A and B are shown apart, each in its own frame.
Chain A
Amino acid sequence: MSASQSVKKIIEINPYMLGTMAGGAADCQFWHRNLGVKCRLHELANKRRISVTGASKLLANILYSYRGMGLSVGTMIAGWDEKGPGLYYVDSEGGRLKGTRFSVGSGSPYAYGVLDSGYRYDMSVEEAAELARRAIYHATFRDGASGGVASVYHVGPNGWTKLSGDDVGELHYKYYPVEAEVVEQEMAELPVT
């Protein structure tokens, strides 16, 4: 598929859970939607919301059963349940990790650099959002395969909200404004002979 600057890489599984997309777009879209269906069925069967632990395990088990068949999924499941906030990394190799911060995709090393140096567990929401935005911006700056719009979402006890969506070209000049240069000598027209 030809490149697009506006592919939705944050998938809304349900009003209180988000999934990120890296790897095969169709694989991520399809299996995240399937996960949303399974989460809803869990709610109907058990009369309560599924935990982030449970949701991420459902996805990981599906991907593990397709291991070796060529699926390409590198995703983070972020949500809020009775135990508070939950974040899991799940991939198509069958890996599943719980953590407080992750970066996934071709630009992830660049994002990790910014993320790890600025992270504190007791950050405020605004500080965390700005750190995430900067991490994405720096990844798009150095990685040819990353770019477009940096979206930032917040997941809280009442579900997720979208905080911002900024064009990374505009973020660049916001973080690194161009100062007017002092012109020492202007170019002059050569006299016509």
Chain B
Amino acid sequence: MTKQQANWSPYDNNGGTCVAIAGADYCVIAADTRMSSGYNILTRDYSKIIQLADKSVMASSGFQADVRALQKVLASRHLLYQHQHNKQMSCPAMAQLLSNTLYYKRFFPYYAFNVLGGLDNEGKGCVFTYDAVGSYERVGYSSQGSGSTLITPFLDNQLKSPSPLLLPAKDAVTPLSEAEAIDLVKTCFASATERDIYTGDKLEIIVLNASGIRQEYMELRKD
């Protein structure tokens, strides 16, 4: 007697890729705007990025219905925090909140692969990378989604920073300038678009620094 298999799945994968890079005083968060289902493109103009707080921006690939639900929960919790503490949540605090929010659905997870980027309390760039159930780590750069297997080795080659576990500690933040990091991100997506069918159409880039927040777009291949 074989175990009964489900003939319907509550999940779907809408594809797409997200990248974030932390610098000395900036953070670049980017994602493509293609939303797919199987071999179909649902739309070429869907944003996977949301600004959760003054200095926290989240990009998520995976199942966009779950991503949208997750974004709403986090936005609501941030509003409560502002009412209770009369200030914006810091990026490290938002990082912990996201981890706990994901783990609370440990037995029916959000199918969301997240990258949180922003500025920490000292104004330095920070990037936090997650798995679907909330395990997280602060890193210098990260990529998630369908194109991550193509982008991560390239970023390792260009940006590889010493492990934060080393003692004596070595500085991990990338020495690249903001303009160089943005250029690197554009290069990553141009390459990923070539080989990953789920990545393409348009690239949305968000840049967070001391002066505030900025948005840029770049066209990608639409095939």
Contacts and interface: CB of A to CB of B under 8 A. Distances in A.
26 contacts: A1-B130, A2-B148, A2-B149, A2-B152, A4-B139, A5-B163, A6-B163, A7-B137, A8-B137, A8-B164, A8-B165, A24-B135, A25-B131, A26-B99, A26-B102, A26-B103, A26-B131, A26-B134, A27-B133, A30-B99, A30-B106, A148-B165, A149-B163, A165-B163, A165-B166, A166-B167
A173 to B, nearest CB: 16
Counting from the closest, the 7 A-B pairs by CB-CB distance are A25-B135, A1-B131, A26-B135, A165-B167, A6-B163, A149-B165, A26-B133
B131 A6 contact: no
Given A26-B106, A29-B135, A165 B99 contact: no
Contacts of A30: 99-100, 103, 106, 134
A144 interface: no
Contacts of A167: 163, 166
Interface of A: 1-2, 4-8, 24-30, 69-71, 148-149, 151, 162-167
* Band of interface residues on B: 20 to 34
Interface of B: 99-100, 102-103, 106-107, 130-137, 139, 148-149, 152, 163-167
Query: A4, A6, A8, A151 — which one has the most chain B CB atoms within 10 A of its CB?
Result: A6
Given A26-B102, A26-B135, A30-B134, A70 B107 contact: yes
Contacts of A26: 99, 102-103, 106, 131, 133-135
A7 B136 CA distance: 9
Given A30-B99, A167-B166, 9 more contacts: A1-B132, A1-B135, A2-B149, A25-B135, A26-B106, A26-B134, A27-B106, A149-B165, A166-B167
B17 to A, nearest CB: 13
B100 A6 contact: no
A71 B136 CA distance: 17
Nearest to A6: B163
Contacts of B107: 69-70
A24 B134 CA distance: 11
B134 A6 contact: no
Contacts of B139: 4, 6
A5 B164 CA distance: 10
Query: B99, B131, B167 — which one has the most chain A CB atoms within 10 A of its CB?
Result: B167
A146 B161 CA distance: 19
A166 B137 contact: no
Contacts of B131: 1, 25-26
Contacts of A69: 107
Contacts of B136: 29
A149 B166 contact: yes
A4 B139 CA distance: 10
Contacts of B133: 24, 26-27
Contacts of B148: 2
Nearest to B113: A1
A7 B164 CA distance: 9
Contacts of B102: 26
Contacts of A71: 106
Nearest to B96: A33
A151 B169 CA distance: 12
A75 to B, nearest CB: 14
Nearest to A25: B135
